[in-house]
Every structure is written in C-alpha cells, then in structure tokens.
Structure 1
Amino acid sequence: MPQSLATPPGFVMWRTLPQGDDPGWKRQWFGNELDAGAVLNVRGIGIREPMFNADVHRPIGTGDWLIMFFHRPARLRRGEVEPSVEANTLVLWPPGAEQFYSFGTVANVEPHSWMHVEGSWVAAQVDENRLPVGTPIVLEDDALVVATLESMMEEMTAHEVPDRIILGNHFQNWARSVARSLQTRDPQHRIPAAILAVRAHLDEHVAALPVLDDLATIAGMSRSHLCHQFRRYFGTTISRYVVRKRMSLAERLLYDVTVRPGQIACMVGYPDIYQFSKQFKKTFGVSPTRYRRQHARANEG
C-alpha cells in the first residue's frame, strides 16, 4: 500500500483525522509533486469531508485540476454571507484558475467531496465531454461523484502500484456520465466546440502572443462575441487565462534547477526577463529566483 505523506502541500489547509471510530468521511493525499508532463496523476481525494475552513481563496489555483462537489449549499463568491449555490453542486477548477469556496452556514459539519488531479488525460476528457469549467453545475444527487471517488481511492490505496489505466477508465467514465446527465437535462451546459478550439490553441501556444483576430477566425465569430463566450464558459478573460497558464507553467519549471530563470521566461512567452519577473512577483508575491530558493530549502528540510 502506498505510503501517504505526513504533510500535504502548503495550499491545503489540513487537519489531523479523528482517531478511533470511523468519522464517516475519508481523505487521502498521495503526493505533493506537480508533474508538467503527467498523463494522469491523482494527487488527493476527499469523500464527504466536513468543510473546516471558511473562505478558502487561492488567486491562481493549486497548479492542478481541483474537482469539488458540495453536498449542501455553499458559498462560491467572495463577500457573500448566504450560500450562492444549491446542494449537489459540482465545480471543475483548471490549473491556474482562481478558486474560492466556503461552507454555507456551519463550519466542521457541511460535507464536500473532491479530487486533485492533473495531466493531459484529465484535460482531454474535460474537453472531449465539453464539461463546464469554472462554472457551478448541479447534479441530481451525489451518487455519481461519490462512487467514482470511492473507486479511485480504492485503486490508489489497495495496491502497491496503482494501475493508471484503471484510474483513467474511472475518470473517463465519470466525465462521460456527468456529460450525459447535463446534456439530458440542459444542453446549454455544453461548451461549444469553437470555444474549446480557442482554448486548445491557447494551451498549445502558451508562449505566443495571442492575436484576437486569429482567435476569432478559429472560433468563427466576431472578436466581441468570442470574448463574451470565453468569459461565460471559463470565468475569465482571454488575456488573464494566458497569464495564468504562463505563470502556472513557470512555477513548475522553477523546480528544475537546471533551467535558468531567463530560459524559463522565454519558454513561457516573456523575452524580457524583467517583465517576466515583474509578472511572476505580481502573481506569487516573490521573484522567480527567491521562489526557487524558498522551495529548494523546503525540499531539503
């Protein structure tokens, strides 16, 4: 059975599991290393975990996909005191996207289920099934989410070496089932293929300066309509999406000490290292060099 880590990554507000009787919920962290080249990496799973922390806000996300299901009404907008989404709401936050969530009314009681996953397989299934990203969607009940998380956790914990194909099948079946449920009840939830094509182009050419006219041609619509549709489905502007993708990639590349900051700047679309450092500090609060130094010390410890 894989050995779980003693501490999760810094972006997770963690609490020790209760000792003794089964608390009625599950949580397991499987690793804290982001892998930019991963096909499918299951980093953590929680099932019916009470929401301990109020107003969890991550301006640039967690570097991976956070897929979260709220069993009860929850707050997904900053500054609100009343729940903004109903029970059985699902949200898919992609790498680099801003995250905010909180319990609806009572801490330590209201449950949520979640998984931290990353890799090209995850993105491919989300795109192929046209699942809404960053937009709350309501499912009929929690059975689909909980059953999949139970199966994935079983695969991750019951075997010395988890089978990535089995895990991939679980995730694919879940994505297809969610898509079928949404399409049956509300075809408007489907992300248009034209908008997905624009996002795929941005992801593939993250270092290039996006030209709105070119993106509009790919989408087959006017520039203003494209901007409106992109924000509608992905919850952010095209320019902010590109910056988040660039900074997320830069963060990962800084873990490779063989790559100089100047090289990373060019790799993520900043020929001018000054502009790259300025944007990185604006995003993470420290310069790229200091960020690398801090995390190098943390890894040594």
Structure 2
Amino acid sequence: MASMRDYISHVAPFLSDFAEETLMVSDAMGYESNPDFLIDRSNFNNNLIMYVLSGCLVAEQYGETHEILPGHGILMDLRDTHKYYFMEKGHSEIIWLHFRGTPVDAVINHLHTGNMLPLRFEDASFEEHFAALYRLAAAKQLPDEFDFSCAIYSLLMHVCKTARINEPDGMDSFALAASRYIYAHLDEPAGLDAFAGHMKMSKYHFCRRFRQEFQCTPLEYIQRQKINKAKRLLIYTRLSIAEIACQLSFYDQSHFSRVFTQLTGVSPGKFRKG
C-alpha cells in the first residue's frame, strides 16, 4: 500500500444534480498533517469521517471534547457547530472523507436519535477500506457516480459495524430511552409530566436522573435539540422563521428567536444569511 503521504487531498471536479439528490457523494477526501490544522465552524453541509494515523486529533461538538488516538476514528455531522484540530504536542496525521446525500440521512438521523454523534470507532483495517475508495476517486477525472456511491456506503457501513451502533451497551438504558423519546417528540411542546410518565418515574426522580446523565435539565436539553433542528431547517428548507417556530412548537416567533439567539449567539435571520 502507498504511504499515507501519497494521499494528497482529492476534490471532486463535478457532482451531477442526480448524484446530489439520490446518491451518496463526496466533494473531498485526503490526508492532513499540517501542525496548524484547525477547523472551527458553526455549520457545513457535509458529514465527516476522520481516522488518526499518528499523534492525536481533538474534536469538539455538542459540549464534549474527544481525543482520538492512532487506530481510532470519528464520524461527525458537520451541519451542527463543530471544531477539530491536532493536539499541540507531537506530529499528527489523519485521513479524512467528506460525504453527504439522501441515503446518508437515514443513518445520520438514527445516530442522532440514539445520541451517538459524534461516533467514535476503533478499526485497524480502516486504512485499507479508505485506500480502496481513494483509488477509485483518483483513478479517473470523473469517477462513475454509482460506483463511488456504493463505495462510500460500504465504507460508512464498515464504520457503523465496527462501532456496533446497533448494540446499545455503550449507552445507559435510561439515556438511550430518554434520547429516543426526545427525538420522537421533538416537534411537540416540551412537557415534563408526559416525559416522566413515559420513563415510569416521578417528576422529581426523573429530573434528578436526567441531570446526572446529561449534565443539564430535560427542558434545557430539549431546547438545544430543537435549536439544532431549527438550524438545519434554516439552512436546507425555505420555511419562514415563523413556520419553523410553529413546527417546533415554540410559543411564537419571538420566543423562538429569543431562545435561538441565546443558544447560538446570532438571530435566526442572521444565521440563515450565513
């Protein structure tokens, strides 16, 4: 296999409308070793897989910091606020892949529902799978979009299988059940009575347990998830701010705008304009 230093960044020269709408696509992939490597964004229309070859990668998202070591990787939804960079000490190297597309959405939504993003994984064979995808991308100026979509899907499924996302052992059963309830009722008004009842707990014990698991109150967590969904609606739909506020069951547009600004630092209108 070629040295990882041979993996210069590959950028897709053209993506058809058909591919963007129906297939899995990648606009870029490659290798990074610049010690000043730092990405800090509020949103970017892509998902990302990064795999560490040497050194240490640090990824920050959803209030958590992850240190990724060699032989390990991380999958992130870049449509939400994110930051990643190399640890200051030592030399670090990663290989990375941007990907998106309609078939990806079901997988990403499932991971969001299980509160599993960013998804960390350990895989000694990832480099081999990545190399196969990279060779396909670099072999032709315009690689076959169907073949490339299948290759991306294969790599994504390999990561999910390695991370064993279908097994909830890595997450406490309370946290998993609470997360699933929240995402199933995200468009509804936030109510503690129904939530606690669903969890078969008194409101007091439910709130206490929830804070232990999520380091915030249930209503704070629900609001954050509503705003995360609102950001995606602002970016990817033509719904008005008032319609988004209504869909997410805020009292009115003013209430939605106030909460959005408190949690993001900008108004919904400014966020939409970029």
Q: Quick one: distance in 2 between partners of 1:47 and 1:258?
A: 33
- 1:192-231 superposed Cα distances (whole Å, 9 cap, x missing partner): 4553333232223222233345445545675233443346
**Corresponding residue number in structure 1 for 2:29:** 46
> Shift of the alpha carbon at 1:272?
1.9
Matches within 5 A, 1:150-229: 150-151=132-133, 154=136, 158-161=143-146, 167-179=152-164, 190-192=170-172, 194-212=174-192, 214-219=194-199, 222-223=205-206, 224-229=208-213
- TM-superposed deviation, 1:275: 2.0
> 1:266 Cα deviation (Å)?
1.1
1:105-138: CA deviations, max 9, x gaps?
Answer: 379963242444464321366479x79433755x
| Contact 2:46 2:99 (8 Å CA) reproduced | yes
Distance 1:109 1:92, change over 3 A: closer
Count of equivalent residues: 251
Which amino acid in structure 2 is aligned with residue 87 of structure 1? P
Q: Distance in 2 between matches of 1:283 and 1:217?
A: 28
Are 1:86 and 2:58 an aligned pair? no
Say whether the 8 Å CA contact 2:33–2:94 is kept in structure 1.
Answer: yes
Asked if 2 retains the 8 angstrom alpha-carbon contact of 1:92 and 1:133, the reply is yes
| Amino acid corresponding to residue 163 of structure 2 in structure 1 | V
How far does the alpha carbon of each residue in 1:30-56 deviate from its partner, in whole angstroms, 9 at most, with x for none? Answer: 899xxxxx8875454534333564453
Q: What is residue 48 of structure 2 aligned with on the other side? A: 66
Matched, 1:268 2:248: yes
Equivalent residue for 1:102?
Answer: 85
| 1:281 and 2:261 aligned | yes
Measured in 1, the distance between the counterparts of 2:198 and 2:22 equals 27
1:84 positional shift: 4.5
**1:90 alignment partner, SS class:** strand
Counterpart of 1:210 in 2: which secondary structure? coil
Taking a change above 3 Å as real, the CA distance of residues 162 and 135 of structure 1, as seen in their structure-2 partners, is closer
The answer to which structure has the higher helix fraction is 2
Q: Which deviates the most, 165-174 or 200-209?
A: 165-174
Q: Which runs of 5+ in 2 are unaligned?
A: 16-20, 61-65
CA contact (8 A) 2:26 2:97 kept: no
TM-score (norm 2): 0.65
CA shift, 1:103, in A, is: 1.1
Distance (Å, rounded) in 1 between the aligned partners of 2:129 and 2:197: 42
Native 8 Å contact 1:70 1:111 kept in 2 = yes
Q: Please say which of residues 98-107 and 38-47 is displaced more in the overlay.
A: 38-47
Structure 1 gap ranges (5+): 1-21, 33-37, 296-301
Cα separation, 1, equivalents of 2:191 and 2:217: 14
For residue 56 of structure 1, give the secondary structure of its aligned residue in structure 2: strand
Q: Distance in 1 between matches of 2:30 and 2:219?
A: 35
SS in 2 for 1:200: helix
